[in-house]
Chains A and B, each alone.
Chain A
Amino acid sequence: MLSNRIRLIFNMTTLMLLSFALMSCTPENPQSTFDAQGPISEIQKNLFLFTFWIAVIVFIVVEGAIIFVTFKYRRKNDDLPPQIHGNLRLEITWTIIPAIIIVIIAIPTVFGIWETQVMPDEEDAIIINAVGHQWWFEFKYPSEEIVTANELHLPEDKNVIVNIQSQDVLHSFWIPKIAGKVDMVPNHENKLWFRADNPGLYYGQCAEFCGIVHAMMRFRVVVHTEENYQNWLEGMRTPPKSVNSGSDEDEGRKLFVGNCSMCHTNDSYKKAAYHKEINSQYNRWEEWKKDKENSAIVSAPNLTHFGNRLTIASGIKENNYENLVKWIENPDSIKIGTRMKNHANIYNSDKKLTDQEIQQIAKYLLSLKPENDSMASYNQELKR
Chain B
Amino acid sequence: MLIILVLHFVVALVAPVGFRWLGRNAFYVLALVPAGSFLWLLTQHDGAYSPGAIERNVQWIPQLGLSLDFRLDPLSWVMCLLVLGVGALVLAYCARYFKKRDAGLGAFGAELLAFAGVMFGLVTANNLLLMYIFWELTSVLSYLLIGYSRHRLAARRAALQALVVTTLGGLAMLVGLILLGVSAGSYRLTDVLAKGPELLGNGGGLMINTAIVLVLMGAVSKSALFPFHFWLPGAMAAPTPVSAYLHAAAMVKAGVYLVARLAPGYSASSYWQWCVLVLGLGTMLLGGWRALREHDLKLILAYGTVSQLGFLTVMVGLGTQAAALAGLALLLAHGLFKATLFLVVGIIDHQTGTRDIRLLSGVFSSAPVLGVVALVAAASMAGIPPLAGFVAKESALDALLGNAGNSAVGVMALTAVVLGSVLTFAYSARFIWGGFAPKSGISTTNFKPVPLTFLAAPLVLSVGSVVYGCWPGAVDGWLAPYAAQFGPQEESSHVALWHGLTPALGLSGAIIVAGIVLFVSRTAVGTAMDRLPQGPNADSVYRRVVAVLDDVAIAVTGRTQRGSLFFYLAVILSTSIVLAWLAILWGGQPLAKVYVIDPGSPVQLLAGAVTVAGGLAAARANKRFLAVLMVSVSGYGIALIFALQGAPDLALTQMLVETVVLIAFVLAMRTLPARLRERTAGTRRAIRIVIGVAFGITMVVVALTAMAGRTAVPISTAFAQLAYQDGGGANIVNVTLVDIRAWDTFGEISVLAIAATGVASLIFVRGRGDRLQPASTAPTGSVGRTEQSPGHQHRDIATLELSRRFATADSDAWLVGGRTLAPERRSIIFEVATRLVFHSMIIFSVYLLLAGHNSPGGGFAGGLMAGLALAIRYLAGGRFELGEAAPVRAGVMLGGGLGLAALTALFPLLLGGDVFQSAILHFTLPVFGDIKFATATFFDIGVYLVVVGLVLDILRSLGAEVDSQQEAS
Chain A partners chain B: no
B residues whose Cβ falls under 8 Å from a Cβ of A: none
Q: Which residues of A contact B (CB under 8 A)?
A: none
